[in-house]
Amino acid sequence: RKEVEQDPGPFNVPEGATVAFNCTYSNSASQSFFWYRQDCRKEPKLLMSVYSSGNEDGRFTAQLNRASQYISLLIRDSKLSDSATYLCVVSSNAGGTSYGKLTFGQGTILTVHP
Amino acid sequence: NAGVTQTPKFRVLKTGQSMTLLCAQDMNHEYMYWYRQDPGMGLRLIHYSVGEGTTAKGEVPDGYNVSRLKKQNFLLGLESAAPSQTSVYFCASSSPPGTMGETQYFGPGTRLLVL
């Protein structure tokens, strides 16, 4: 089982649609959670951190369920510019060191069409 | 601020050749990382460094070596390139985990093709 699993998609949605991405992680000791966005042939960039209480940033809402080891990202009112790959990322301490190991899901591809 | 930069952007090697990828960051970050990204595999950590003069192995270190002689630079070396090392290589940097700056910032990537 992969440490971080995502539905690879692709998701094809019209502008204005609401779309949700899910992610599960296997390491119950994971400490921090993130969604990164990666445009085609570009580097990953942080979209938002994910907190236990849930958090919102404009049209984006992230949720974390530690009991189920499940993370979600909701995008409302999709824009053409939202087309990208969305990476679920989980951080955990590696071997008791201070290094925070990031484990990346393989990404979910989103295409928003007119 | 340039953030994280990588050179070269693209390179073609023949099997057995060697090369060094350079990563530089101007954010005074302690931590630096080298990843490779392959289709369907996500990003995988090759090596990382928690400070100048220190390096450690990540998830897929075989065939690679690294050096961190200066805080702002992190070099990734391929001593004898193999076709299996064809990939996109990303460098990243961050503040120590647990601090406000835990986010990893990535460079634009180096596309390597080994024939």
Collapsed DSSP state (helix, strand, coil) of residue B7: strand
Residue-wise pLDDT for B15-26, tens only, equals 999 999 999 999
> Looking at CA atoms only, how far is residue B103 from chain A in angstroms?
7
In this prediction, residue B95 has a pLDDT band, given cuts at 50, 70 and 90, of confident
Q: How far apart are CA B24 and CA B14, in angstroms?
A: 26
> Looking at CA atoms only, how far is residue B75 from chain A in angstroms?
18
Give residue for tokens 């690294």.
B66
Residue-wise pLDDT for B49-91, tens only, equals 989 999 999 999 999 999 999 999 999 999 999 999 999 999 9
pLDDT, average across residues A98-113: 85
Q: How far apart are CA B37 and CA B18, in angstroms?
A: 20
pLDDT, average across residues A100-109: 87
pLDDT above 60 for B100: no
Instruction: Flag if A91 and B102 touch (Cβ within 8 Å).
Output: yes
User: What percent of chain A is helix, strand and coil (3-state, nearest 5)?
Assistant: 5, 55, 40
Q: Residues 6 or more apart from B115 whose CB is under 8 A from it? A: B12, B13, B14, B15, B83
Could you tell me the two tokens for B96? Answer: 């120590």
Residues of chain A whose C-beta is under 8 A from some C-beta in B? 4, 8, 32, 34, 41-46, 49, 87, 91, 93, 97-102, 104-107
Within 8 A of B31 by CB-CB distance, chain A residues are: 99
C-alpha closest to that of A88 among A48, A29, A56: A48
What is the pLDDT at residue A52? 83
Q: CA B108 from chain center: how many Å? A: 11
Collapsed DSSP state (helix, strand, coil) of residue B61: coil
CA distance from start to end of chain A: 37
Residue-wise pLDDT for A31-62, tens only, equals 889 999 999 999 999 999 898 888 999 999 99
pLDDT above 70 for A98: no
